[in-house]
Amino acid sequence: MSTTFTINGQPYTVNLTDLPPDITLNTFIREHAQLTATKFMCLEGGCGACVCAVSDGKITWTVNSCLKLLNTCAQLEIITCEGLGNQLTGYHPIQKRLAKMNGTQCGFCSPGFVMNMYGLMEQHGGRVTMEEVENSFGGNICRCTGYRPILDAMKSFAVDSTIDVCEESVDIEDLSMKARNCPRSGNACKGACRQSKLIYEDGSQWYWPSSLSEIFEALENVGDSEEFMLVGGNTAHGVYRRSPDIKHFIDVNGVEDLHQYSSDKEKLTLGASLSLTETMEIIRSTSKQSGFEYLEVLWHHIDLVANVPVRNSGTLAGNICTKKEHPEFPSDIFISFEALDVKVVAMKGVDDEKEMTLEEFLGDTDRKMLLKAFILPSYPKDMYIYDSFKIMPRAQNAHAYVNAGFLLELDGNSKVKSARICFGGIRPDFIHVTDIEQLMVGHSPYESNLVEQTFSKLEGLVKPDEVLPDASPAYRSKLACGLLYKFLLKHAPDAEVSGKFKSGGELLQRPLSSGLQLFQTNKQTYPVTQVVQKLEGMIQCSGEATYMNDVLTTSNSVYCAFVGATKVGATIDQIDASEALQHPGVVAFYTAKDIPGTNTFCEPSFGYEAEEIFCSGTVRHSEQPVGVIVALTADQAQRATKLVKISYSSPSSDFKLMPSLKDVFSSATPDTSRIIPLVISKLKEVKFSDKPDLEVRGIFEMGLQYHFTMEPQTTIIIPFEDGLKVFSATQWIDQTQSVIAHTLQMKAKDVQLEVRRLGGGYGCKISRGNQVACAAALAAHKLNRPVRFVQSLESMMDCNGKRWACRSEYQCHVKTSGRIVGLSNDFYEDAGWNTNESPVQGHSTFTAANCYEFTDSNFKLSGHAVLTDAPSSTWCRAPGSVEGIAMMENIIEHVAFEIQKDPAEVRLANISKKSKMATVLPEFLKTREYYSRKKEIEKFNANNRWKKRGLGLSLMNFPVIYIGQFPATVTIYHVDGTVVVTHGGIEMGQGMNTKIAQVAAYTLGIDLSYVKVESSTTINGANSMVTGYAIGSESVCYAVSKICETLNARLKPVKRAKATWVETVEAANAQLINLIASDHYKTGDMQNYHVLGLALSEVEMDVLTGNILIRRVDILEDAGESLSPWIDVGQVEGAFVMGLGYWLSELLIYEGDNGRLLTNRTWNYKPLGAKDIPIDFRVELVHNPRPSSSGFMGSKATGEPPCCLAVSVIFALQQALQSARQDAGLPREWLRLGAPTTPETLLLNAGHQVSEFKLK
């Protein structure tokens, strides 16, 4: 049986039985249509890389193609990013605007952003507001840019836009593509070509019912022991993985009875299969009717559910049925509907229909019961008060810590007639707080005695369960109480509420974000220092830019997936893959025994301790790969991994599982065998004063951070003649080539790598991706066929090392002036199971004094690596520097707190008067109005009990140290004078290729359009240093500049006055002058230098929830003379926001019993999103032309240093918390905030008790 749809206007007729019944649209687009603009990463609707648009001829909407099943696409027009616009047909205005306004870096996320914006414009007929635009990207993650330039580009299309556009205005009609025609009828699709039933060879069945009766006919075919799925949007797969044993798929999307809605004066009836987006449109229009005003509150709550593409596909019934199947699911639809006493219309047969409460439906055991509709009552606003709340770890696209819905019915005397007090996120069997509902009846909800009784009882009634990785019961209990208090504060008459308390009734209100970018250029060196569009920007925005997984291979390609060990500390006895090898599509399974060479993906000759590709003995961490499954499809490989059985010998009796740094230090006497001293101070003891003015001691803790590159660890291996062609997402082609060669006992010359670009790196692709590369190479070598290995997000987070967690134990003696006269800092960093890639001896130590003045006699620093039962930690953006600078800045803040001086003054007291920072800091404080803003904050805090603000400062002295070598080659073509550059660096979003092109154009004296930078290979880039440590761009630019000067010297004899560049090149070629030159940068060619930076962060905290807004951030960074200012500003913004995520939201939790990482998905690991960034984001690059100590052409690094400044937000939160604690009557005490400081951390440190919840 075949189905028909179109992609970018091209008809596709597909025999569905040739494909799996649950194949996704993303898989078909990429692997069958071979269109690569549509990416994937998380495969659960949480990252936005996979977003495309679909149209039924009437409306267009965006979907997560990784969730949308292909069998639901019949007669739809699918639009991908390259179909929206490309080099051949012309670019779409959205693509052009995003590229022009510096909205791409690595570019892997760009097609998803473009398509999401396109869908928004289509949905609103081309007329959107800036608020609608900024609110619509909750499902799109960007790890590179910090979002600001993306939001500016998209908001520039709004009807109320105030964004300066750097290109000519665009006719709004150009923003829309006309709907394609249905290929069968020639008319807009009307669903006339729908199929009814399909049976697959394995017995699986897919149904396309068009009526309720046909649904029940399909359900009758489902055996009692068989699994089935009512298919709507398939969005629940993003929460709970779909069972592989489903045999019956019943697509209910075509049943019109389930999409109906109606309203009268008494009720609104919503069809069960209405999408959340359709529901929002209906309730917004209905909210204008008398009695339904409360629906505006419901609209805002549903707007917090998931993200736009998920809401476009996910249905009301799907959400409630997920709650039925998984009672612990914190459904926002359920909690809102339950508070509103919404009834469901449920069916057990065509003629068996009844109205039920939600509680009755959830409790019914009939698994074939069908939801038909939801009935929402009318609630006149003069008789009812309704509100709901959802508190999340970030602003959008996160499930609730706790959600709540409250409905009060009032009598004529404004006393409670009935109450519905509902909470989610407490425990599966807890919804209504019945005792409080009954307590309120007969009273005004704002009576002081009632309020006091309510909260004295509520705290004892709300008893959350303890289930990792959920937030603690203590937090969720206090948060639930705070939400009911917030409800009362919000709705009480002004006369009933103290003015100081009133603001506590509102959630934090985020205005539109904006930014300011200040820098200078030097026209004498253009195009160097000139603002130019990123070289790859346009093809990134159209999806035409090639990444590793976009490399096309032949049809006999196979796919890989790791099999992981589960018993940490045990020894593997036997691996039985017999069942897995019988699984459909499985081709092979390989373990350590199959490796012909060395079983390590870290090259010992590069200074590494060996790390096994496949575990052959003791299991070092949970999910450590023991082998690799090879199959015909990626899904088949993933499913087969679950069928491999591993038997183990028990760990030694003295083994104690410790997967995290906190586990090691949980006892008073940590296990010293796990602590390895790496930096031992020459100073045995600090010469502390016998009588210090003050002694300050403390502990400062920073957690792990996952890199969260949008591009997964990816390697494509193609056997070629007598060797391998390798396309691997690596930051270090030299090491990847080496480990593959040694794994297979091949010569390096037979392993040739090519890297066009990476979809982000941040350090995780220096060595960690080699494990994937070696496994793929082994499979290709054994099978002699192309192999594609794209590691899943869960596997990456389970197997890949993270940023080194750190613990600092410090002691210092201080003068009342703030001057530190003696300091001891013992720090401990989480190595994982070995000490490879340790920053302890490097930047952690180099930056530990930051910009402050100490002597050899008063500063003792000791650094240790701590072995834990987790993957070996690895480099992560500004490795060691983030920890080192934060440790010192925290000490300064702690000292300032104890001596009760302004932190800025304490910093100045410890900075050498000869230092440049001694001049820069006072000026920065002045121009950023530091002292006046502090007074405004103090006034705000005095006037508000439940909202608090703070202003945090951080300084940075970041050392840049040149090491290694980078070769490059420049080729001039005599035909037209164009130039191609190849080099050994890796473009991964930092703008290396653009800077290289600018330098080449400047040095050769030609227009930038003449220059192209090609892929990095192990031929032209042989023996290259890793691209990292913030030195790659400058180093390769140096090499290219030398080469271009060599070429200039060759051209000089034939260069004639007034001759054009092309004429000069032609003349040189005629005389057989070599127009190809190579050279390299090497250690010693450029001087090391330091990057100074300052940041000031202003925050506002909701004391009752722990949520925050970053109101404003000012960053000043010494960028020397920026080679490419827009790129450098983008690097500053992106690095800072990645740092904010580290300090605020990115929490990694290991299960203590088995060492399993519990936060290994987008569902529970939360980098910051577009509405978490600073509302007012100001970046200035200090213009410091040609400082003697700076790098190439006076430039300085920008990709890593700004990450170190984000700690300023923690210091701002410390101030906000101190004000809250003062109001709570607590003694003044320094709080141990660290990374991450989550809403849970903030609320539990705010110090208030539920007994303080009063209206006056």
For 1168-1182, the pLDDT digits (tens) are 999 999 999 999 999
Tell me which residue has tokens 């290259």: 1024
Chosen domain end from 175, 197, 221: 175
Main-chain phi, psi angles of 99, to 5 degrees? -70, -45
- Exposed/middle/buried for residue 223 (C-beta within 10 Å: 0-12, 13-18, 19+): exposed
Q: Are residues 73 and 54 in contact, defined by beta-carbon separation less than 8 angstroms?
A: yes
Closest CA to 360 of 381, 383, 344, 384: 344
Structural domain includes residue 527: no
CATH number at residue 816: 3.30.365.10
pLDDT score of 214: 97
- Exposed/middle/buried for residue 178 (C-beta within 10 Å: 0-12, 13-18, 19+): exposed
Q: Is 106 annotated as a binding residue?
A: yes
Residue-range definition of the domain harbouring residue 1133: 513-520+912-961+1088-1256
Whole-prediction pTM: 0.97
List of residues 6+ apart from 703 with CB closer than 8 A: 805, 1146, 1147, 1148, 1234, 1235, 1236
Q: CA 444, 447, 453, 459 torsion: positive or negative?
A: positive
pLDDT score of 685: 75
Structural domain includes residue 1149: yes
Residue 956 sits in the same domain as residue 979: no
- The segments of the chain whose pLDDT lies below 70 read 166-195, 688-690, 1184-1189
Residue 8 sits in the same domain as residue 153: yes
Report the chain's mean pLDDT, rounded to a whole number: 95
Q: Is 422 annotated as a binding residue?
A: no
Residue 1175 sits in the same domain as residue 1225: yes
- Number of domains forming the structure of the chain: 6
Residue 847 sits in the same domain as residue 905: yes
Structural domain includes residue 493: no
Report the C-alpha dihedral over residues 564, 567, 571, 573, rounded to 10 degrees: -70
**Facing residues of 410 across strands?**
416
Q: Is 42 annotated as a binding residue?
A: yes
Residue 53 sits in the same domain as residue 153: yes
Structural domain includes residue 19: yes
Beta sheet of 947-960, edge-to-edge order: 514-518, 1176-1182, 1108-1118, 1089-1102, 947-960
Structural domain includes residue 632: yes
* Catalytic residue (one of 31, 437, 612, 1200): 1200
Q: Distance of CA 1248 to CAs 496, 1003, 1044, 1104, 1245, Å?
A: 21, 64, 66, 9, 8
pLDDT score of 682: 76
Closest CA to 1243 of 172, 385, 476: 476
Residue 986 sits in the same domain as residue 865: no
The helix (H) or strand (E) run that includes residue 281 is: helix 276-286
Q: How many of the other CB atoms lie within 10 Å of CB of 94?
A: 28
Tell me which residue has tokens 């359920």: 334
Give the whole-angstrom CA distance, residue 359 versus residue 344.
10
Residue 43 CB-half CA count within 13 A: 17
Residue 681 sits in the same domain as residue 827: yes
pLDDT score of 193: 52
Question: What is the 8-class DSSP label of residue 1085?
Answer: S
Residue 690 sits in the same domain as residue 771: no
Q: Is 615 annotated as a binding residue?
A: no
List of residues 6+ apart from 49 with CB closer than 8 A: 39, 40, 41, 42, 108, 109, 111, 112, 141, 710
Residue 767 sits in the same domain as residue 811: no
Residue 716 sits in the same domain as residue 743: yes
Q: Is 371 annotated as a binding residue?
A: yes
Structural domain includes residue 1017: yes
Tell me which residue has tokens 């051209």: 1051
Residue 855 sits in the same domain as residue 828: yes
Q: Are residues 1212 and 1097 in contact, defined by beta-carbon separation less than 8 angstroms?
A: yes
- Antiparallel, parallel or unpaired: β 1108-1118 and 1011-1013: unpaired
Give the whole-angstrom CA distance, residue 303 versus residue 390.
11
Q: Is 50 annotated as a binding residue?
A: yes
List of residues 6+ apart from 312 with CB closer than 8 A: 61, 62, 63, 119, 233, 275, 276, 277
| Known catalytic residue at 1200 | yes
Closest CA to 125 of 75, 199, 53, 175: 175
Q: How many of the other CB atoms lie within 10 Å of CB of 644?
A: 21
Chosen domain end from 175, 198, 217: 175
Q: Is 182 annotated as a binding residue?
A: no
Chosen domain end from 1045, 1061, 1082: 1082
Q: Is 697 annotated as a binding residue?
A: no
Residue 807 sits in the same domain as residue 948: no
Structural domain includes residue 771: yes
The helix (H) or strand (E) run that includes residue 895 is: helix 881-899
Q: Is 877 annotated as a binding residue?
A: yes
pLDDT score of 445: 97
Q: Is 803 annotated as a binding residue?
A: no
Structural domain includes residue 1032: yes
Give the whole-angstrom CA distance, residue 872 versus residue 854.
33
Greatest Cα-to-Cα distance within the chain, rounded to the nearest angstrom: 102
